[in-house]
Structure 1
Amino acid sequence: MRAISVVLAATLALTACGTTNSASSGDCPDNGRVRFGVEPYEAPDKLKPAYEVLAKALTTKLGCEVELQIVDDYAAEVLAMRNGKLDIAQFGPLGYVFASQKAKAEPLASFADGSGKLTSYTAGIWVAKDSPAQKIEDLAGKSLALSSVGSASGDALPRYGLKKHNVADVKLDYAGGHPEAMLALINGKVDAAEINSQQLASAKSAGTFDESKFRQIWKSEPIPNDPITVRGDLDASFKDKVRKALLELGPQDVEKVGAFLDVTPPGPLVEVTNDTYKVLFDLANTLGLKEEDV
């Protein structure tokens, strides 16, 4: 699979805006270029302009041309980093578990609120308001729209919820993304759908989801927000430079991305480590997930 869906060269003159963060091409991993991958957790045409802002700000901080890639899916992003086609990448929390194991991804930073606290989100299962299903156990024999294979909130956690509550005989329908899963429920194509708190906030803001017509019957524990990672086999000094640059970005640099992640108002990014995502490593072990499941 090729992680090539959308490519943006986010360039700024290194001497512009009075920046003192200059660097030669030798300070960057690919002749002055840094390849930044983002998973398609929302429609690419919506993600692109938001990540343009972040990429441009990161270009200025790093002194390297940041090339943005909205990849095809979770698996494509892991594969691209493993094959040396991405230098930094934002993964969903579960995608990060496998990226750390298979692509040497190392977490650097994630999204904080205005008080500087790392943000989180929840997975959820929703039904129509007039559905007879009142709790997750009532989904036995019903159809459930999930996002895409490898999504924490759109796949693994809802399946974990079904397993934990001993719910069998549920028809799982992978819709292709969070918006598509929601749309399947809105259009009456399925009995239930996963809708995470980020997608819920985004859809309500856009006026595409009337919450009064639906009901949530299950919600997960909080999940720490997506990590921005660096490929582990890169030079240690460059990895430190990327960490510093990310942590120096201002709220205005990340607010458009933060809006998709239900981070409003946003603060600067905060540092995260492997331990931050222990709950996702535990989830993968509990479900017996393997790389091919992402």
Structure 2
Amino acid sequence: MLAVTAAAFSIALPAQAQQAGEINFGIISTESSNNLKTAWQPLLDDMQKAIGLKVNAFFAPDYAGVIEAMRFNKVQIAWYGNKSAMEAVDRAQGEVFAKVVNKDGSQGYWSLMLVHKDSPLKSLDDVLAKRKELTLSMGDPNSTSGTLVPCFYAFAANKVDPTREFKRMARSNHESNIMAVANRQVDAATVASDVVDRMKVKVPEKAAELREVWRSPLIASDPLVWRQDLDAGIKRKVRDFLLGYGKDEREKGVLNALTWSAFVASDNSQLVPIRQLELAKDRAKVEADTALSADEKAKKLADIDQRLAALGKQIAKAD
């Protein structure tokens, strides 16, 4: 449940910013706000010139803060991961309109589990076998690669509850988790592969201390989301700016600092696999709930299966 209230944003940002010649651009907390601001500000400055409106960067201490800011129209456009984008679509009148393209031209990334390079842990099986002796740090609860994907593919698939079965489980942003592993403060951590790529550039000596022991299936690249009620003219200008960005060397350099090469059009359909993971997680919880009667359990499972089937049809239709 998103805990941040409207009052939390009433001081920081004006309501209905786009009506006053401004828009607020939310940036999820994958790293420290200082690092994110350094990477993002050149792009936002270029956007401001292109669309003729002041563009304010908005940061929050967690993903929920950006989602709630969009919900209360304190943020009109935001960069999310897929899980947080799903929450914004469902709770904050959000709509996916674009996604990033990586430097190598790919349109996806991975969830990774990292350990220190000198750790005796060599694989996911090693981590799971010794979990009661280990400290694990995961991502924000609304993080796709830090929480949702590893919880399903690494833990639920092996019938492990990471919140209960490790010696200690912590949560932090991707950058902090990477540093915690490099500095031997935790035994293992789940992070996004693109943040690891950025850390290899920013702090190569720390990145050299890491070793990957698990990699997820490919995750669709990060979406950009705007509020559905954003002015149509502003939407058009923002879309045209982003989809045309990265053509000259200076713009390529701006995107390179973000580990991207371009933006391409997208829509809410890219969130369907994430919805499937969420429902699969819910299904596993229902199956394991001994407090439910047989009838209650059957009813809940049937409802989840019906929704999973509907999502499967969406994918089949898109293919």
Is the shorter-chain TM-score for this pair beyond 0.5, marking a shared fold?
A: yes
Match of 1:236 in 2: 232
Q: Which runs of 5+ in 2 are unaligned?
A: 284-319
**Distance apart, 1:235 and its partner CA:** 3.3
Which segment drifts farther, 195-204 or 131-140? 131-140
Q: How do residues 200-215 of structure 1 correspond to structure 2 at under 5 angstroms?
A: 200-210=196-206, 213-215=209-211
The number of residue pairs the alignment matches comes to 264
Identical amino acids, percent of aligned pairs: 26
CA contact (8 A) 1:126 1:215 kept: yes
Q: CA deviation at 1:132?
A: 3.7
Q: Is the 8 A contact 2:136 2:166 kept in 1?
A: yes
Cα pair 1:174 1:181 within 8 Å, conserved: no
Report the CA distance shift for 1:182/1:49 in structure 2 as closer, same or farther (over 3 A).
closer
Please show how residues 41-190 of structure 1 align to structure 2 within 5 Å.
41-113=30-102, 117=105, 119-139=107-127, 140-141=131-132, 142-160=134-152, 161-168=154-161, 169-171=165-167, 173-190=169-186
* TM-score normalised per structure 1: 0.79
CA distance in 2, matches of 1:188, 1:83: 40
Structure 1 residue ranges without an equivalent (≥5)? 8-27, 290-294
CA distance in 2, matches of 1:6, 1:259: 27
> What is the DSSP-based 3-state SS (H/G/I as helix, E as strand, rest coil) of the residue aligned with 1:149?
coil
Q: Is the 8 A contact 1:118 1:224 kept in 2?
A: no
1:94-150 deviation digits (Å, cap 9, x = unpaired): 1001100001111122222468x4521111112234434333233232321112221
Moved more, 276-285 or 76-85: 276-285
Larger helix fraction of residues: 2
Question: For 1:173 and 1:254, how far apart are their aligned partners in 2?
Answer: 39
Query: What value does the CA root-mean-square deviation take over the aligned residues?
Result: 2.7
8 Å contact kept, 2:24–2:56: yes
**Structure with max Cα Rg:** 2
Distance (Å, rounded) in 1 between the aligned partners of 2:115 and 2:67:
32
Letter of the 2:70 counterpart: M
Q: Which residue of 2 aligns with 1:12?
A: none
Question: TM-score, with normalisation over the residues of structure 2?
Answer: 0.74
Q: How many angstroms apart in 1 are the aligned matches of 2:183 and 2:10?
A: 31
Alpha-carbon shift at residue 53 of structure 1 (Å): 0.9
Q: Among residues 273, 280, 305, which one is paired with 1:286 in the alignment?
A: 280
